[in-house]
Structure 1
Amino acid sequence: MNLTASVLIRAAVRVGDTCSSDEAFRQATRFWTGAFRLGVDDKSVRFTFDTGDLVSVTEINGKAEDGEGEFGFDAPCWAWKKILVDSELQSDFSGIINRGEALTRTGDRDTYWLYYPAARRFLELLSEALDNQS
């Protein structure tokens, strides 16, 4: 698969447009007012929640900052390709974060711990979408 930053960002936006219909994702975002951001090279997608409802999916060019109630992951495109396409790495996503393999968690640490299951489910949905694309 020729996974570029633009392809990955477009896939993330498509998943963001449909993930509110995923029951596991909705349960994981319950009560969340804040945002999750996926950074790829110099681009990002921000998923904003209001009391658990996904209210917007926004593409961002350039550096993005995370505020209170927000967290994200930044990585170069080659690292996302390894994480999202390599099924062996998908099963140990939290281990990848802890080893610092080109993936950086940003933002509010407490929010990360509360809503990690939502981010994990989003990345599973994104991986499935990329598999279906190839």
Structure 2
Amino acid sequence: MNSLHTPSPALPTVPPLRPQALALQWNRQPLPPLQAVQALEFRTGETGLLEVEQGRVWVTCDGLLEDYFLDAGQRLSFAGPVRLRVSAEGGRPARLSWARHRNSDVLDRSAAADVPAPGASIRLQAA
């Protein structure tokens, strides 16, 4: 993990998911400073949604070269199958909220076109 203030690469943009089509249960994950990297896994047919509640969070995805640095209020999503690695960036604590959903279970048919292909990442609208 690089503790230097490194800018994140530009996030790819695609149409956002329609919030009214999702029924999500959010999980809160505290990320103390200097703690080991946490792993989050999402299976085929699932989309993982991340939102930083507090601090700055480092996110990387197995198989992608880019690292992402998200500040409080920023969101990111990844379509499975994917393994994400997250931790607090720098010497301050952070808190991450994350949710998963089964693409076929919670999206209506009209929203299904908004879901990216497996392994793709998208940027959601700001909170």
TM-score, scaled to structure 1: 0.27
TM-score, scaled to structure 2: 0.28
Highest Rg: 1 or 2?
Answer: 2
Question: By percentage of residues, which structure has more helix?
Answer: 1
